[in-house]
Chain A
Amino acid sequence: GENVEQHPSTLSVQEGDSAVIKCTYSDSASNYFPWYKQELGKGPQLIIDIRSNVGEKKDQRIAVTLNKTAKHFSLHITETQPEDSAVYFCAARKAAGKSTFGDGTTLTVKP
């Protein structure tokens, strides 16, 4: 089955700096790659996603890139703010299959 590896497990940045979280996947049939943000005491929230026919997608301060050949995708957060502090999960999914999640990255943005 699908295997998703996520790095780093923890990331600490200064407010205003950029943060990058990277994931690799194993199943070349996966074609949908969402990113979730989980704040303390809450369920994960979908923040951005990318499909296999797109190389990059941007939404305000967050962007996701996908390299299908290398089977890796990344989340980029620019101009980080303290409210960006949370656990971020990547996931990979085939069209009709279940999502496989990475192990999560705890992002801390220091004021």
Chain B
Amino acid sequence: SAVISQKPSRDICQRGTSLTIQCQVDSQVTMMFWYRQQPGQSLTLIATANQGSEATYESGFVIDKFPISRPNLTFSTLTVSNMSPEDSSIYLCSVEAGQYVRYGYTFGSGTRLTVV
């Protein structure tokens, strides 16, 4: 299955600033997913990133706050903009597991973000 390198692994940021999270996959994948996991809670899908098109955002998430880039089939970035303490969470990227669509996901190790 795919191997995902996600960075940074953690960061402490000042409110009002922005952080860009990078996700590198060792194989070409059609869709990449960005999730948010608040402390002790489940995974909430932020958006789906397809190469060559605009990301598709879930209800409650907007492009101005979480701009996403997908320049090729192995890389994506998520930016958390104009941060506030409420943005403190773990952010995870994921892709379909395996070379062919098998419906399961492989996740990166996550970015633990603290906004102060």
| CA distance in complex: A103, B18 (Å) | 28
Is the Cβ of A43 less than 8 Å from the Cβ of B41?
Answer: no
Chain A, interface size category, equals: 10 to 19
Contact A44 B103 (CB under 8 A): no
Please tell me which stretch of A56-64, A65-73, A74-82, A94-102 contacts chain B, meaning at least 4 of its Cβ atoms lie within 8 angstroms of it.
A94-102
Task: Judge whether A98 and B45 touch: CB under 8 Å.
Answer: yes
Verify B45–A104 contact, CB threshold 8 A: no
Chain B contact patch, size range: 20 to 34
**C-alpha spacing A95/B96, complex, angstroms:** 12
Q: Which chain B residue lies CB-closest to A44?
A: B107
**B83-108 with Cβ < 8 A to chain A:** 92, 94, 97, 103-108
Q: Which residue of B lies closest to A33 (CB)?
A: B103
Q: Across the interface, which residues of B come within 8 angstroms of A89, CB to CB?
A: 42-43
Q: How far is the CA of A41 from the CA of B42 in the complex (A)?
A: 14
Q: Is B114 an interface residue (CB 8 A)?
A: no
Beta-carbon contact of B45 and A43 below 8 Å: no
Interface, chain A (partner B; CB < 8 A): 32, 34, 36, 41-46, 49, 89, 93, 95, 98-99, 101-104
